[in-house]
Chains A and B, each alone.
Chain A
Amino acid sequence: MNELSRAHIGNCAPYAAIWSGFEGANRLEELPWLHVGVFKQMDFRTTSAGIHHERVLNSSATSGSVASRIALDRASSELQAASSAAILSDFLDETARPLLVLDSSRSLIARGTVSARIAAALSLRPLASDIHFLLAEAENPSSLDWTVLDRLLDSHEELLVYGFTWMLWLALGDCDIPEATLERLSSRRIRFVHSGGWKKLKARTIGPEAFNTQLLSHCGPGSTVTDYYGLVEQVGVIYPLCEAGFRHVPRWANVLVRDAWTLNPLVGETGLLQLMNTLPRGAPYQNVLTEDLGRIEPGTCPCGRSGARFVLEGRVPQAELRGCANV
């Protein structure tokens, strides 16, 4: 992390302007970091030999808010894809099955940018044999094309379905599914994966337990629902909820908790989550202070996974409702 921080300071002028005095850290909390909100205000791009920038990843900003902009590069994208696949393969086996995305295929075509939803969906691609888009209109869950779903249900025993939490609920949870589709679903294993958070479902007072129960009630044995937390500012490192209710930190990432007022590191208490990973080369988003509240949990997880883990507890009161944080 010291080397990565120095590389960004040496090759990204706006970042150097903030962290010009950095000489090296002996502890995680001394490493250079940025607040997530800065990525809405400034464009960071680390430029040096071997870094090939591609598209800009935009967060799914809520209405009236500004989106974060993350400059993606080829080498980091490859690392990020491998990272997501490694994390998710611990929750989903590596069976080859089609990936169905609750979005429109038109969302793949955007001038120089990629949306948070498409980036999240494509992170599942290494766990899929092929990819299909279910919606005719990107923002309209009720535009689901049942004929596409029926065709894939007829030809595969297992399907992987990804959508933002609220879209998955409206498209396949709280909706009238055609009888013919229900019949097909009842004998198929469906692996639902969702992210993006619960805030858009707040008015519907639907919680995770009822959400899972409703989705799985249509599907065959072995079907599962995986909910993960992630930020566009930490693309490639995602935090699925384990069976015991914790988020596990992969070896190429780390998490700190800071006091919201003093920014002092906290141990065993709730505070602001600071997420870091070793993957980003094309821009300095390797260490970001979020507006999400959490607590690091000591000891071994009952689920059997080792290493650091945390509990995601919500948002900082009055923090902007962001489109990409899963809270």
Chain B
Amino acid sequence: MTNREKLQDLLQDILLLDPSEFRFDLMRDDVQMWDSLAVVAIAVGVDETFGYHFTPEEAMTIKGVPDIMALLETKSISFAE
């Protein structure tokens, strides 16, 4: 499974999205379930899946899926297709 697939699975699970609703350019404002609890769930899920835990400051800057990928790319976790 690629990192893109792992991230998609994780976010679909947390944000209760069907595969057809998921996009890699999805933003927080587009998803009703992306509330403060989902922010924590994403931080915990990313840690359990990729082994990196966002700092509280990093978690605050996440406005969408591209931000998650960009942050993880800085930790050498690649999302190249």
Footprint of B on A, CB under 8 Å? 54-55, 74, 77, 81, 105, 108-109, 111-112, 114, 118, 122, 125, 129-133
Contact = CB atoms under 8 A, between A and B. Distances in A.
Q: 8 smallest A-B Cβ distances: which pairs? A: A108-B41, A130-B53, A54-B35, A105-B44, A109-B14, A114-B37, A131-B44, A109-B41
24 contacts: A54-B35, A54-B37, A55-B37, A74-B35, A77-B36, A105-B41, A108-B37, A108-B41, A108-B44, A109-B13, A109-B14, A109-B16, A111-B16, A112-B33, A114-B37, A129-B56, A130-B43, A130-B54, A130-B55, A131-B40, A131-B43, A131-B44, A132-B47, A133-B44
Given A111-B16, A132-B53, 10 more contacts: A54-B35, A55-B35, A81-B36, A105-B41, A105-B44, A108-B41, A109-B41, A129-B56, A131-B40, A132-B44
A54 B37 CA distance: 10
A145 to B, nearest CB: 11
A137 to B, nearest CB: 15
Contact of A105 (B16, B45, B53): B45
Contacts of B36: 54, 74, 77, 81
Nearest to B38: A108
Contacts of A132: 44, 47, 53
A33 to B, nearest CB: 28
Contacts of A130: 43, 47, 53-56
B21 interface: no
B18 interface: no
A314 B43 CA distance: 38
Q: Is the interface of B mostly helix, strand, loop or mixed?
A: helix
Interface in B23-81: 33, 35-37, 40-41, 43-45, 47-48, 53-56
A109 B75 CA distance: 26
Contacts of B48: 105
A122 B40 CA distance: 9
A118 B41 CA distance: 11
Determine which residue in B35, B36, B45, B53 has the highest number of CB atoms from chain A within 10 A of its CB, and name it.
Answer: B36
B40 to A, nearest CB: 6
Nearest to A78: B36
B65 to A, nearest CB: 17
A77 B37 CA distance: 10
Contacts of A74: 35-36
Contacts of B43: 130-131
A132 B16 CA distance: 21
Contacts of A129: 55-56
Nearest to B33: A112
B30 to A, nearest CB: 15
Contacts of B14: 108-109
Determine which residue in B16, B41, B53 has the highest number of CB atoms from chain A within 10 A of its CB, and name it.
Answer: B41
Contacts of B47: 130, 132
A74 B37 CA distance: 11
A295 B55 CA distance: 42
Determine which residue in B37, B43, B48, B54 has the highest number of CB atoms from chain A within 10 A of its CB, and name it.
Answer: B37
A112 B44 CA distance: 18
Contacts of B16: 109, 111
A118 B37 contact: yes
Contacts of A109: 13-14, 16, 41
